[in-house]
Amino acid sequence: GCMQGGTNDNGFSRKFTKAFYGLRPKSFMVETMQLLAQLLHIPHLYAVKNSGHIYNAKRYGKKAQTINLNYDQLWEEHDGEVYDEWFYQLPLESKRRAMEDIKRPKRKMYRERYEWLDGYKDQLAQSLEPLLNSSTVK
């Protein structure tokens, strides 16, 4: 999949971030991947590095210049570790900051974010329950 928006999103990112307690859209997608991997018992999450992006292939010419997301930086923000020349390996669970380590004015936002993410995980689990209980996924 791809995780890049346009250069002008008409304020969507700002509105999303405010509505989801400071969680940026790109980070929301990473959190969702991690939650799905946990719920579906997927043992590893690999994410393409900047150098591994398909637009860096010679056949795409200057398309690489149209990439406006630094994938490496995003994966490192989410504790990804370099796996090989082309990929990062992401942890299956995101780290949560201890409330004592968060500046007082931001604590409420983080507490609400973590509560929302817990509820989101529960909703995903309920949505996937029919699939998880079927004989096709084990």
| 55 Rama sector, left if φ>0, alpha if ψ -120 to 50, beta otherwise | alpha
User: Tens of pLDDT along 52-73?
Assistant: 766 665 555 565 555 567 889 9
Rounded to 5 degrees, φ, ψ at 96 are -110, 135
- Taking the C-alpha atoms of 111, 114, 118 and 123 in order, what is their torsion angle to the nearest 10 degrees? 100
Reported pTM: 0.81
**Residue 138: predicted pLDDT:** 53
- Which residues pair with residue 87 across a beta bridge? 48
Going by C-beta distance under 8 Å and a sequence separation of 6 or more, which residues neighbour residue 66?
Answer: 55
Burial environment of residue 55 by CB neighbours within 10 A (0 to 12, 13 to 18, 19 or more): middle
As a whole number of angstroms, the distance between CA 10 and CA 24 comes to 15
User: Tens of pLDDT along 80-118?
Assistant: 999 999 999 999 999 999 999 999 999 999 999 999 999
